[in-house]
């Protein structure tokens, strides 16, 4: 298992510093003319049309787009869950594969197994990598401590709140130390307040994270808060409509950053682009 150990950055460093130190590490994601068709009930449907997108190692990139635009499908392709129809897609120079230990995928719903305790759920990711039981237990507890849930290690899903379940799911993703973190609308299933708390927590966790983050969301403020760069997908068949750099300084705060003038103007810029991508049927 190789990890991006060369990525040495201080927690909470400013964007440009982080970028600079990792420019040499190459590309985490490299998509060239990626097209993807799926079988629909009335024949093949075009989901992605020649998507060109690069994510440098260590960079935080968010994709926003109209609902059903295919952004989640693109993420699935990066995770190796969907086959692309044409073009080339590389993750750290290789074809994407779900069993690749370098990528960690966080889904929008927690998908915790109700018959396993919180620890057992976190250990699941390590079982997939064939980590021995002793080490599994230890690493799972470390990951649970990271999300402040060590006290709940022996508790079943039903005994956890919605936010706690999502945190266990996050620990399950982080426990393998992925170099590329793929987040698929990570907090979409949470209520508005819990979501803000989770965003805050995620940003704190990412302060000590040295890998790459690729996030798909329909929440524009979530994209701005987390990313160095926001990519707007067009309506279906999706291609990259626009890229917007987010020069907001780090560390950012889910509450305070939102109220800054800069944040507001970026929000409006992204929304302006996004609203153009909605078709008449969306409204």
Q: Is 18 in the site for other proteins (CB under 8 A)?
A: no
Minimal distance in Å, beta carbon 100 to other proteins? Answer: 7
Q: Is 167 in the site for other proteins (CB under 8 A)?
A: no
Q: Is 185 in the site for other proteins (CB under 8 A)?
A: no
Question: Which CB atom, from 79 or from 206, has the smaller least distance to other proteins?
Answer: 79
Question: Which CB atom, from 159 or from 208, has the smaller least distance to other proteins?
Answer: 159
Minimal distance in Å, beta carbon 232 to other proteins? Answer: 26
Minimal distance in Å, beta carbon 262 to other proteins? Answer: 24
Count interface residues toward other proteins (CB under 8 A). Answer: 22
Minimal distance in Å, beta carbon 39 to other proteins? Answer: 18
Minimal distance in Å, beta carbon 159 to other proteins? Answer: 5
Q: Is 133 in the site for other proteins (CB under 8 A)?
A: no
Which residue of 124, 150, 188, 197 would you call a contact of other proteins, by CB under 8 A? 124
Q: Is 111 in the site for other proteins (CB under 8 A)?
A: yes
DSSP the chain: ----TT----TT--HHHHHHHHGGG-EEEEEEEEEEEEEETTEEEEEEEEEEEEEETT-EEEEE-STTSSHHHHHHHHTTSS--SEEEEEETTB---TT-TTEEEE-SS----TTSBHHHHHHHHHHHTT--HHHHHHHHHHHHHHTT-GGGTT-BGGGS-HHHHHHHHHHHHHTT--SEEEEESTTTTS-HHHHHHHHHHHHHHHTT--SEEEEE-S-HHHHHHH-SEEEEE-SSSB-EEEEEE----SS--TTTGGGSHHHHHHHHHHHHHHHHH--GGG-
Which residue of 158, 192, 280, 283 would you call a contact of other proteins, by CB under 8 A? 158
Q: Is 97 in the site for other proteins (CB under 8 A)?
A: yes
Those residues whose C-beta lies under 8 Å from the C-beta of residue 239, and which sit 6 or more positions away, are 48, 49, 50, 51, 52, 233
Question: Which CB atom, from 98 or from 272, has the smaller least distance to other proteins?
Answer: 98
Q: Is 219 in the site for other proteins (CB under 8 A)?
A: no
Minimal distance in Å, beta carbon 84 to other proteins? Answer: 16
Contacts to other proteins by CB under 8 A: 79, 81, 97-100, 105, 107, 109, 111, 113-116, 124-125, 127-128, 156-159
């Amino acid at each position: 298992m190789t990890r991006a150990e060369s990525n040495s950055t201080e927690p909470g460093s400013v964007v440009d510093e982080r970028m600079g130190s990792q420019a040499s590490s190459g590309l985490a994601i490299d998509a060239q003319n990626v097209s993807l068709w799926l079988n629909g009930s009335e024949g093949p449907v075009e989901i992605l049309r020649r998507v060109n997108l690069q994510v440098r190692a260590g960079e935080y990139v968010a994709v926003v787009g109209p609902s059903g635009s295919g952004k989640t499908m693109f993420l699935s392709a990066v995770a190796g869950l969907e086959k692309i129809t044409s073009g080339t897609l590389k993750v750290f120079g290789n074809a994407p594969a779900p069993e690749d230990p370098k990528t960690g995928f966080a889904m929008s719903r927690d998908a915790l197994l109700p018959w396993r305790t919180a620890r057992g759920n976190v250990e699941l990711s390590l079982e997939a990598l064939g980590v021995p039981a002793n080490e599994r237990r230890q690493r799972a507890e470390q990951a649970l401590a990271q999300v402040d849930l060590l006290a709940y290690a022996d508790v079943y899903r039903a005994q956890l709140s919605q936010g706690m379940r999502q945190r266990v799911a996050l620990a399950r993703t982080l426990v393998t130390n992925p170099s590329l973190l793929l987040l698929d609308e990570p907090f979409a299933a949470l209520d508005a307040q819990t979501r803000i708390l989770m965003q805050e927590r995620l940003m704190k966790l990412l302060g000590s994270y040295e890998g790459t983050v690729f996030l798909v969301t329909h929440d524009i403020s979530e994209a701005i808060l987390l990313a160095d760069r926001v990519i707007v997908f067009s309506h279906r068949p999706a291609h990259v409509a626009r890229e917007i750099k987010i020069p907001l300084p780090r560390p950012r705060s889910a509450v305070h950053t939102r109220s800054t003038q800069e944040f507001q103007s970026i929000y409006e810029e992204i929304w302006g682009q996004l609203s153009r991508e909605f078709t008449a049927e969306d409204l």
